[in-house]
Amino acid sequence: MHFLITGHTGFKGSWLTLLLKMQGHTVSGISLEPDEISLYNQARISGELLHDLRVDIRDFSELRASIKDIDPEVIIHLAAQPLVRESYIHPIETFETNVLGTINLLESTKVLKKLRATLVITTDKVYKNQNTLKGYVESDPLGGDDPYSASKAAADIATQSWTKSFSSTSVAIARAGNVIGGGDWAVDRLIPELVKANQGQMLPTLRYPNAIRPWQHVLDCLQGYLLLVDKMLNENVTGEWNFGPNHLEQKSVQQVVEAFGKEWGNSVSGKYWNLDGGAQPHEAGYLLLDSSKAQRELGWMERLSFQDSVDWTVEWFKKYSESDPREITESQISRYLLRL
């Protein structure tokens, strides 16, 4: 099967490329340039791609021409501006990329001959957040207070509208939680900050230590996407699908940091973090997904517990400076596939 991944130079996209290649698929990619320090570069992802194109998804003409040349059978749309704090600094770019870019992608599929399925990736943050103690289900209202959440909710709604109005092939939406794993170097995300702090034998500074998020390993998330794609190909399913951890695994930012520090072996006088007491932009305090639909209809389930996810992440970052990042990543993928 020939997959096109948009945003393939990012963290998830790099893991997904190697996962698909190890399962025997052909992969092409459309993305912006990768960051200099990135899993894409460290694991030499470019050598695994049939087409490896640099296209801004806000440019409809160039995007459509590129996708037509690639002519994939499956598209997984990951490309986005993915950071909450960045969305406050660059709101226009965030909305253009996440909303207009998604519509540009969907419109571009009209010229394809081989396409069978398109999976649009949004986020757990598309839900109108009430800070409730239950997981959001796919039918709950969408919304968003910060520009990132609002832009992804708008992209989700736009995808639903486009699908009902124009689609002649299967289109679905996947909403996943906070993923962790080796090779995440994105600025202003928790795991890269923890790696930097622990490597320097310093304590990380937390903005929202009590915030609850649906943490899961990147491979559990990606396996959910691929199970959904299989269902789309075999049964032409559409709709919206949550992929988040079991509620028994719900953890706060503080718990993630402490588990990470203990596994790394770094603390200062028994402490694992410091509090950032400065003014912070709004972020939801409690956010969980109910993934019953995916469990029931796709047979999806987590193969890595919360502690497994932390352990595998720490293992990757501890090994990468002395080992080949590509080999570490493929080794973890192989171990994961044995659990399926």
What CATH number corresponds to the domain at position 30?
A: 3.40.50.720
Q: What is the mean pLDDT of residues 291-303?
A: 96
The type of residue at 72 is P
Q: Domain tally for the chain?
A: 1
- Does 72 map to a domain? yes
Provide the percentage of residues in the chain whose pLDDT is more than 70: 94
Nearest CA to 252 out of 208, 197, 188, 186 is that of: 208
- Model confidence at 4, pLDDT cuts 50, 70, 90, reads very high
Q: Which of 74, 75, 93 is nearest to 83 (CA)?
A: 93
45 domain-assigned: yes
Which pLDDT does position 205 carry in this prediction?
79
Strand partners, 30: 6, 53
Helices (H), 248-324: 253-264, 292-298, 306-319
Task: Flag whether 160 is in a domain.
Answer: yes
Q: pLDDT per residue over 24-60, tens digit each?
A: 999 999 999 999 999 999 999 999 999 999 999 999 9
Give the global pTM.
0.94
The parent domain of residue 81 ranges over 2-182+213-249+286-306
Residue 188 covered by a domain: no
Give residue 269's pLDDT band: very low, low, confident or very high (50, 70, 90): very low
- Domain assignment present for residue 337? The answer is no
- Please report whether residue 278 resides in a domain: no
Write out pLDDT tens, residues 214-252: 899 999 999 999 999 999 999 999 999 999 988 767 788
Residue at 117 is within a domain: yes
Higher pLDDT residue, 338 or 178? 338
Residue 225 lies in a domain: yes
